[in-house]
Amino acid sequence: MKREDTVIFALSSNVELADEICEHLNLDRGKIDVKHFADGEILVEPLESVRGKSVFIIQSTCSPVSETYMEVLIALDACRRASADEITVVMPYYGYARQDRKARARQPISSKLMANLLTTAGADRVVMIDLHAPQIQGFFDIPTDDLTAVSMIGQYYRNKNFEDEIVIVSPDHGGATRARKLSDVIPGSTIAIIDKRRTKPNVAEAMNLIGDVDGKIAIVIDDMVDTAGSLMGGIDMLYDKGAKEVYAACTHGILSGPAVERIASSSLKELLVTNTIPLKEEARQEPKIKQISVGYMLAKAIEAIETHKPVSTLFDLFND
């Protein structure tokens, strides 16, 4: 890649991850000013030329979700008006992904709206990690790359060298494919599925278990953990069904509200998250919460895009 023609900007949500990506690529992070005025208005201004350059804007649209989205949209507009040649949004966590369909009458499909806004504002490509629903890629009329952290999560657990049999548990039917992918990279593991009914947002009732966890180490895999309410119900069920130990892993550790307290006081052995969303200090201090980095994978994705090589090779990057 021609480093002099590439600019990487970090907005406010995940500067630490952006710095790690730049370190892997041996690039300096581009200078950009992000201001929030007293009335809530946002100004994003690149402080160096982007004319004719390939620009990468790194921003996870995590809390405050609407503000972080606005930063991206305004940054896109600024770079487009400054004659950037190509603009890629690297959005490790894609906010509003849970609003991907009309679950009830008159509900919006906000995930599609966000895709429209990103495209209209000037994005040429969007790179994401473990979308809540892979079909969200179809909301875009521009190229998208939905990377996955499953292979690095698998590497993490392989390195633990568990002596007992492992079962990979999906917290619902929708996550069965993700559980199967993790099972495929952890030799000898089987899968199980928790059958649950969601009554309202952030509240779920575990109903039944499909599969056998008796005497095994259970690893619950999901794309995100928000308030951890759903996770706690699943953990209790797994122990009731005879699981020896219960671990959990997710790509996006949102960890809102009482999540950290719930995890700390639970019988969960450990929660593994990635750094698509920066951990709050409370979560950083909790010994049960472990974090691995997606920085190297995103750096390789940027390198592949810039050198016109396939990004798909990154799906097996950590399957050693």
Query: What are the residue boundaries of the structural domains of the chain, listed by start?
Result: 3-148+295-316, 150-292
Beta strands in 161-265 (DSSP E): 166-170, 190-200, 203-210, 217-225, 245-253
How confident is the model over 230-287, as pLDDT tens digits?
A: 899 899 999 999 999 999 999 999 999 999 999 999 999 999 999 999 999 999 999 9
User: What would the pLDDT profile of 45-98 be if each residue is shown by its tens digit?
Assistant: 999 999 999 999 999 999 999 999 999 999 999 999 999 999 999 999 999 999
* SS3 at position 275: coil
Contact 182, 153 (CB under 8 A): yes
Say if 3-148+295-316 and 150-292 have the same CATH topology.
yes
Q: Which CATH architecture has domain 150-292?
A: 3-Layer(aba) Sandwich (3.40)
Could you list the residues known to form a binding site for Mg(2+), using ranges. 132, 172
Query: Does residue 320 register a pLDDT over 70?
Result: no
Secondary structure (3-state) at 311: coil
| 290 among known catalytic residues | no
CATH number of 3-148+295-316: 3.40.50.2020
Catalytic-role residue among 53, 181, 196, 241: 196
Rounded Cα distance, 41 and 280, in Å:
25
Instruction: Specify the pTM.
Output: 0.94
Mean pLDDT, range 9-14, rounded to an integer: 98
What average pLDDT is seen over the chain? Answer: 94
Task: Please give the pLDDT value at position 100.
Answer: 94
CB 88, CB 125: distance < 8 Å: yes
- Rounded to an integer, the average pLDDT of 144-159 is 97
